Amino acid sequence: MLFRQKAFMFGYSTQRLFLAKELGYKLMGFSIVVNDEQSYNRAISDGYTNVKLLDITDDRALEELPINDNDYLICVMDDHYLNVFLTLSLHSLFPKAIVVALSDSPHTTQKLKMAGASKIIDLYQVSANRIHNILHKPVATKLVERLLSSDEDFSFKEMEIPKGSSLDGIMVDDFDFTKHGVILLGMIDKRLSNQFIFITSGLENRFDVGDTLVCIGYNSDLENFEEFIQL
């Protein structure tokens, strides 16, 4: 007996709304699974009818879902610890299903791989890759420059790590730039070379005195971050 391939999205929030819309539009068999009443009510009020409320930490509750081989199980819980736990549970319970998980950091990506995710969507990597692609296309680069020039609050900034900086000796993957409201585009790591290295290169870089960082963000955040690395 043949089954139609379905998709189950675990988690629902304003940050994941765009994903739910895309999947709901493209897939006939699309369900949303949440573990709290607030998310459940939000999904219902947004017009979704196939929404299930259950304890995702309970394997018996997960086993009752109508999941078949090759169905898509999409883990987008806001709590990344819960997202890793859910990925591990789903992979164990439904080994032939396709588990797709959302990640917002290299460390979470590694944990999701170990938990058995079939595919991982790294939001940080996707954003950096988009910027990387834009900067390697001359026409698009001119467009970006035009966009930047029309908004004086948003720009790129180069900054050098000074002697005595709290960043000195820290691995790039261990530092959370989002807390400062900026995105690291790339850097010149003097230990490796004097060439610019995009953060998407896959290399494990360390911040050292004399390294040059290139960040993107609002001017006020960039200035505050530059002051921060002086400390």
When comparing pLDDT for 200 and 186, which is higher? 186
Is pLDDT at 175 greater than 80 in this prediction? yes
Q: Which domains does the chain have, with CATH numbers?
A: 7-117 (3.40.50.720), 127-228 (3.30.70.1450)
Give percent above pLDDT 70 in the chain.
74
Is pLDDT at 100 greater than 80 in this prediction? yes
How high is the pLDDT of residue 150? 47
Beta strands in 35-147 (DSSP E): 51-53, 72-75, 98-103, 119-122
Q: How many CB atoms are located within 10 Å of the residue 192 CB?
A: 13
How high is the pLDDT of residue 156? 75
pLDDT band at 197 (very low <50, low <70, confident <90, very high): confident
How large is the average pLDDT for residues 75-97? 92
How high is the pLDDT of residue 88? 94
Phi, psi at 220, each rounded to 5°: -65, -40
Find out whether 112 and 84 touch, Cβ atoms under 8 Å.
Answer: yes
Rounded (10°) CA dihedral 20, 23, 25, 31: -70
How large is the average pLDDT for residues 63-89? 92
How high is the pLDDT of residue 143? 45
How high is the pLDDT of residue 8? 93
How large is the average pLDDT for residues 1-9? 69
